[in-house]
Structure 1
Amino acid sequence: MSTSRVLAAVICLGLWGAPAWAEVINGTLKSIDVEGRTLELENAKGEATSYPLPDSAKFFMMAKAAKIDALEEGQSITVTTDKSGKVTVVRVKKASSQPRATAKAGGGGSKATGSGWAQYGGPNRDNRSTETGLLKSWPASGPEMVANGRGLGIGYSTVTFSDGKILTMGSRGDDEFVVCLDEKTLSEVWSAKIGRTRPDGMGGGPRGTPTIDGDRVYSLGANGDLACLKLADGAPLWSGNILQNFSAQNITWGISESPLIDGDKVIVTPGGQGAGLVALNKNSGKLIWKADIPGNPQTGYSSAIIVETGGMRQYVNFVHTGVVSVRADNGQFLWGNNASANGTANCSSPLEWDGNVFSASGYGTGGALVRLSGSRSGVTAALAYQTKNMKSHHGGMVIDGDYLYGTDEGVLKCLEIKSGNVMWQNRSVGKGAVVYADGQIILRSEEGPVALFEATPKSYVENGRFSPSNRGDRPAWPHPVVFDGKLYLRDQDSLAVYAVK
């Protein structure tokens, strides 16, 4: 049976309000010695750990009190330990594996916006958090880590939130999973298999992040497996492979897109013949329209955004040959521009600024601003400028007012958007991903270190930095997320949570 393990460091308040660390470990019961009071727990990688069971340990079977002899090999269990590592609770839960639904790709969705973080890039897909009242500076050791979960599986997916749940993705063995965690404890609520793991020299596993829309979750795996699941329990509603269904080829490092939900549509980018972007009905997975992009370019590594110009609603994404735009209502191609595209990998999603679009890529290329004008009948696009001063590889950028922040390869820069002029630059912690929150920006280096600096065009003002303790052996590419007063940092198999309020 496919297994999972989540190791969470959870803050529990004692009688005097002092924090007491606990660990919550999810996995499969490999063996149980009732007389010797020892169990062996196996994680998703097949690694086994033994846990002595003290007489004080409590046992629960499906939330009901039970005895140690209720434990059986093969059960999916959760083990909770105290600060010293002593087991306090063992819970037997239902198996998480579920049959997959089959349906041809083609669906849609409603835009997941608001004050939360239900989709990749935040409420408006612009890497901006709506959190306020956050710490203006960090202690020398960094913000307090309040939880640390492990066992998510490998991959570069970041996190989204809804209804007290955290959604992410990870590969466990040969399969890709959507993983749902309890927001407070980081214990696993459910996991759902959506496809096969895609091996990769840069690290296997999914790259995209689940999108939450109401009581549903939409995910897209590295092999193009698109799934719609119930948020409550991960039960499959429909699924399909966007590469197979739209005669498209996978890209060098695997599909990395996070689905966009807008109204009744799910928007994804297969990059197939006559199907550069597609709109699918979010309730059924049935095709609404296909966008025929000139040249039939392959998809890129970014995720689509919504842009409004003169009353024209459009979907904009960064494909292999450049930035492209299509009408939201029928998928008609509107415009394209290749000034910011490279021939290797276009990763950072475009950003909308004052009805215009800024995009940038790495590999020596840089960024470009495309000025848009139009009406409900059409949109015209003209290149305002191209700059070598924002070679954004994969960490995205963020706009605050009339200024853009991001890493130009290994150098953090602030640009005036309308002109492309560099306001300041600083090496900070190096190339990485950014998120804006409460007047400041958090930069997470691909090497691991994290910096906090002011969102101001005047100069680089750093207000803290630290090195997370959950570093893995792969680049720290998952984008940082600020939600509910906490900073979330996914790093392959683990998720670290820091109090920043």
Structure 2
Amino acid sequence: MKQLLLILVFLSVCFADDWPYFLGQDLNGISKETQISKNWKVKQPQKLWEVKIGDGYSGITVVGDLVYTAYGKNREEYCIAVKNGEVVWKKVIGPYFYSRIGSGPRTTPTIHEGRLYIVGAYGDFHCLDAKTGKTLWNFNILRKFKTKNLKWGMCSSPVIYKHMLLYNVGGNNGNSIVALDQKTGNTLWQSGSDSASYATPTIAKICGEDQAIFFTGNGLYTVDPNNGKYLWSFSWPVYKNAATPICRGDYVFLSSSYGQGAGALLHIKKNGNKYNVRQIWKNRRFKNHYTTSILWQDHLYGFHNNIFTCVNFNNGGNTWVQRGFKKGLLIATNDGHAVVLGQAGNLALVKLNPQRYIELGTYKPFGKNTNCLVIPTLANGMLYVRDNERLICLDISN
């Protein structure tokens, strides 16, 4: 009996699906969860708890029984940890960022090996003990690298690679992309002179090697994450880039809104020590304003501004569109389902299907007069959503 209990504990540890980073464990917005309700018309989400917070676009991360996000209130920005609906700790991370289109912090907490990394809207970079909120190190990344803040504040979240934190600070003197030591915050390498953007970078294996892909204010800028060595770039003249690039094999999808914005697929090929970057297709009817799309099998699911859209990954053709969410956000599960959150707080469970939009139920956790612009998080059977006032935990397990 004791041996069986040990096996069960081991399995629960191995299969627990935390969401420690922006876009989840694999940086792609797809959860490993499969044990969720597949029909909300029969079994709707159950609200377990709600915590009053404040303004902000900070995403929600989850490790074990602790839930993290950041918000702004009373002229300050805070990072918080919540357990079972109770605030475990709260930490000031910088001055309150005010904007007529939405105030408060923008970056999502990154959790790794017991440490939490968060950047305030004015560039205050913190390393905190994830369980207690104790400061381990902090500095202002804009002052450190002598660069300026973005118009809408710092939005990119730190990305983990080995013992490093990768970040696009936007310096114009060989210090646009930086790698910091996780334990000390010391600078390990610097690269590039691109302006910053609002997009969080990603890590992918392209041409058989690890590459860090940054969607900067100038376009894609890719480096060897081990040393910051420049590998290849692709000009994209839309400085308000916000969606994280999506990678599959030697292909990279990028998308943005405004002006010249569009969605595009690139093929990367290496010849000797040089890279050739070729645009496969471009679709102006798939402009990701700020929400990163989901790649499931051979199709992209995401928002063309305020229209939920499905696009063929291989040729860029639109297959269907669905209105009714306004600006929307989505995450997916490993078995082909998606949770879509509309700006007005309408949640929908959707079966990912390239032929047509298939809705499996809806739910409204916030009621009326809400504004939802933060990507949901799915971890250990719980769905976490927030607006500019509340953080809510919903049980969607089957």
TM-score by length of 2: 0.91
Look up the equivalent residue of 1:254 and give its one-letter code. G
Q: Residue 291 of structure 1: which of 176, 187, 191 is its match?
A: 191
Q: 1:447 to 1:376 in 2, by over 3 A?
A: farther
* Deviation of the 1:143 alpha carbon: 2.1
Question: Structure 1, residues 370-392: CA drift from partner, whole Å, max 9, x if none?
Answer: 11123895543221111112111
- The CA RMSD over aligned residues, in Å, is 2.0
Q: 1:484 to 1:115 in 2, by over 3 A?
A: closer
> Which residue matches 1:425?
321
Question: Structure 1, residues 168-190: CA drift from partner, whole Å, max 9, x if none?
Answer: 111231222211111xx220111
2: CA distance, partners of 1:432 / 1:347:
14
* Deviation of the 1:277 alpha carbon: 1.0
Q: Residue 201 of structure 1: which of 100, 109, 112 is its match?
A: 100
> Which residue matches 1:324?
221
* Deviation of the 1:160 alpha carbon: 0.6
* Deviation of the 1:342 alpha carbon: 2.2
2: CA distance, partners of 1:129 / 1:472:
29
Structure 1 residue 160 and structure 2 residue 38: aligned?
A: no
> Which residue matches 2:178?
278
- The alignment partner of 1:243 has SS state of helix
Q: Residue 139 of structure 1: which of 19, 30, 41 is its match?
A: 41
Trace 1:2-401 onto structure 2 (pairs within 5 A): 115-139=17-41, 142-150=44-52, 152-182=53-83, 185-273=84-172, 274-292=174-192, 296-339=193-236, 341-343=237-239, 345-364=240-259, 365-374=261-270, 377=273, 379-401=275-297
Rg: which structure is higher? 1
2: CA distance, partners of 1:323 / 1:155:
27
> Which residue matches 2:9?
none
- The alignment partner of 2:31 has SS state of coil
* Deviation of the 1:267 alpha carbon: 0.6
Alignment: residue pair count: 380
Question: Structure 1, residues 194-223: CA drift from partner, whole Å, max 9, x if none?
Answer: 211112112221011100001110011111
Q: 1:201 to 1:494 in 2, by over 3 A?
A: same
Q: 1:248 to 1:166 in 2, by over 3 A?
A: same
1: CA distance, partners of 2:125 / 2:368:
29
Look up the equivalent residue of 1:116 and give its one-letter code. D
- The alignment partner of 2:198 has SS state of coil
Gaps of 5+ in 1: 1-112
* Deviation of the 1:470 alpha carbon: 5.5
In 1, are the aligned partners of 2:345 and 2:366 still within 8 Å (CA)? no
Look up the equivalent residue of 1:354 and give its one-letter code. G
Structure 1 residue 404 and structure 2 residue 306: aligned?
A: no
> Which residue matches 1:494?
390
* Deviation of the 1:114 alpha carbon: 8.7
Q: 1:221 to 1:375 in 2, by over 3 A?
A: farther
* Deviation of the 1:142 alpha carbon: 4.5
In 2, are the aligned partners of 1:310 and 1:375 still within 8 Å (CA)? no
Q: 1:348 to 1:472 in 2, by over 3 A?
A: farther
Structure 1 residue 468 and structure 2 residue 365: aligned?
A: yes
Look up the equivalent residue of 1:399 and give its one-letter code. L
* Deviation of the 1:401 alpha carbon: 1.0
> Which residue matches 1:454?
351
1: CA distance, partners of 2:281 / 2:343:
28
- The alignment partner of 2:378 has SS state of strand
* Deviation of the 1:284 alpha carbon: 0.6
In 1, are the aligned partners of 2:51 and 2:391 still within 8 Å (CA)? yes
2: CA distance, partners of 1:132 / 1:265:
31
Look up the equivalent residue of 2:48 and give its one-letter code. V
> Which residue matches 1:35?
none
In 2, are the aligned partners of 1:439 and 1:454 still within 8 Å (CA)? yes
> Which residue matches 2:381?
485
- The alignment partner of 1:244 has SS state of helix
In 2, are the aligned partners of 1:312 and 1:377 still within 8 Å (CA)? no
In 2, are the aligned partners of 1:311 and 1:376 still within 8 Å (CA)? no
- The alignment partner of 1:323 has SS state of strand
* Deviation of the 1:312 alpha carbon: 2.2
Question: Structure 1, residues 250-288: CA drift from partner, whole Å, max 9, x if none?
Answer: 111111111101111001110012211100000110010
TM-score by length of 1: 0.73
2: CA distance, partners of 1:276 / 1:464:
44
In 2, are the aligned partners of 1:312 and 1:379 still within 8 Å (CA)? no
